[in-house]
Structure 1
Amino acid sequence: MALLLLIGSLFALRVALRAMPVSGFLESGGLDLYIGNRKPQDAVSPRFGTRRNRQGGAQVKSRHRYKPAAVFGCAVMLSGIAVSAPHAQKPPPPVQPGPGAPIPLPERNPARIFAQPHPGEIATPEWSAQEVQDATDRCAMLLAGTGVKYRFLNPIREGRCGTPAPIELSAIGKTRAVAIEPAARVTCGLAATLSSWADGFLQPTARKHLDGEITNIRNIASYVCRNRYNANDKPISEHARANALDMAAFKTQSGDWINVLDNWALPPESFPAAPDASQDKTVTPPPEAKPDTATAPAPAGQIPNRRAETEPAFEPRSAFLYEIHEGACTLFGTALGPLANEAHKNHFHYDLAKRKHGAYCE
């Protein structure tokens, strides 16, 4: 294939050079090419490129003279282009990953992933005096008789974050005051719901499992102007509306602290040991039941507790945490604990987010 291209290139060069007359005779290195019966003494006619001999003879065909090096260089150049052209058109083969190389994954729907501005950087009008007054009046009515200890703060407005009537919450509970340490910046609606939770679930559960009541709650996050999980591509957090509280520990009357991180999960030794797999392969006939030793059926209306026979009993602190969290699921719009995700392994998150299909509890 390359040879055919070379021959074609030389033929095209020869045809092109025949149409290029050169005037004068070069003293050195010249190469005379003659077509027909042409003589060296022929001169170029000024018209039509024809030549007449010096004696005024008959008209003859044109004579052309060329440099040998130029002819050879053009031929080599054209042949190189012809030979290398097929190779230049082939794309390089794709690089194949090795046996242990990780396979790159495509972006997850990149059209929907884009950086959101920080909620505090979005221009938002300030609360009007009427909005602040109305929110303050509603707050005072809502917290009346709840046992909540608080004081009003200045309106908060940071972009999309804030609330017109925030309070500094220092204690909740009507039957027994539970101090919030440190004091939390929240809305009045959240404070009222927290107080109901303390009276209806927190203290009764503490008396049941801890032989006492709770005196303090460790607050680790209340109002913070941010998106969920501090991510740019997530919606605004309820913390940014002062509508959420994160609590990490509870202090008992005896002075002990019950931490969510340390006391939520059951210890490994409390779970039953896994059965031996070899026992499944051996079939043992059941013993004959004797009439006087047979197990009596459960009384009518009473269902045997199969779960209690297979699951270990809760350690008191774990049972306390599990039950107060289940109670929170009935009052708050969102109730998240260690079972939700890694971000909540050390605390409970409770907020009053409005949801269409009931509370979100995990």
Structure 2
Amino acid sequence: MLEQLTGHEDPHPIYERLRAHGPLTRDGGIWVTTSHPLANRILRDRRFGVRPTGGAHVPGGSLLPESFLEQDPPDHTRLRRLATPAFSPKKIDEYRARVEKVADALLTRDEFDLIEDFAAPLPISVISDLLGIPEEDTAEFADYGALVAASFDSGVTAEMANANDKVLALFDRLIAQRRQTPGDDVISSLVAAEAEQRLTAREMLGTLVLLLVAGFETTVNLIGNATRALLDHPAQWRLFLADPDLAPAVVEETLRWASPVQLTSRIAHERVDGIGEDEWVTLLIGAANRDPEVYPEPHRFDVMRVHKPEHLAFSSGIHYCLGATLARMEGDVALRALARRMPDLRQTGPATFRDSVVIRGMRSFPVSRS
């Protein structure tokens, strides 16, 4: 059934047809689950990983060289530990004032495209600053991130490979600069770790590419999906306008109701509950986050919803999204800024959607402040 998805339409009718077959079913020769408890259990179960037994790469290729996203322990543990300090709650708190300043600076026009003019430039500005990417290079990095996200569906095309070469060359240049003149940024900290032989040069590149893409791809779609959901549910928008401190709740309900990442996969390293060794399981995060066994009235967008257990929009287990705290903060700041500066915000034209089954978000969303 999943092959029927094109990336444009609402995937939930197909998810519900799969759910009717039970918590775990076969679809096109691959195990699929729509169940929140089962998906959460698999994500936390160390008998499942992201690479086949023996460590071979996943067929189809990737633009991420040696990133910890595609590694199982112990390499995953080692590489993730090196990147973690940059995303600590303390660091994120220090960035909040900068994010607020950027958000306000972007909201100056009466009519604009919410994605192109606000949701995208906000997180790319922040992650570029955090990584240590010069402002003149941020546009190229942002375009590259969109291509990487597209590769999750289509594999690596010639266009993507060409963009990949350019971005790796840019990172090589920045790494060389930090070797000469270290700064207070992620590139400098990874350069120091490489000098101590805690990671290889290729692993450093993979980590930087992953952090760049993960640092803004989820947030762009979170901000876009949240704004569209609020405008499509006027009572919820009025509720938020009356109490902007509901911003974290809006973020969480958006992550559940319109998960930016709709699915991920794990492979069994041994036979587990009928799943054979080296068999893949597709975890439909978007479906799990609307599991009626977990969330009452799951298809209703409700910013007052109690999220227990936590949604799986940021995954779970050892691959829980490293940038989750940053994404939540940026979503919070962006929504508060919109409510404060544009309480009469309205949609002025049709939204266009990303041509992706994995990533759920919009390409464009024209709006006006009144």
Which band: TM-score by shorter chain?
A: under 0.3
User: Whose RCO is larger (CA < 8 A, sep 6+)?
Assistant: 2
TM-score (norm 1): 0.21
Bigger fraction of residues in helix: 2
Kindly name which structure, 1 or 2, has the bigger radius of gyration based on alpha carbons: 1
Bigger fraction of residues in strand: 1
TM-score (norm 2): 0.21
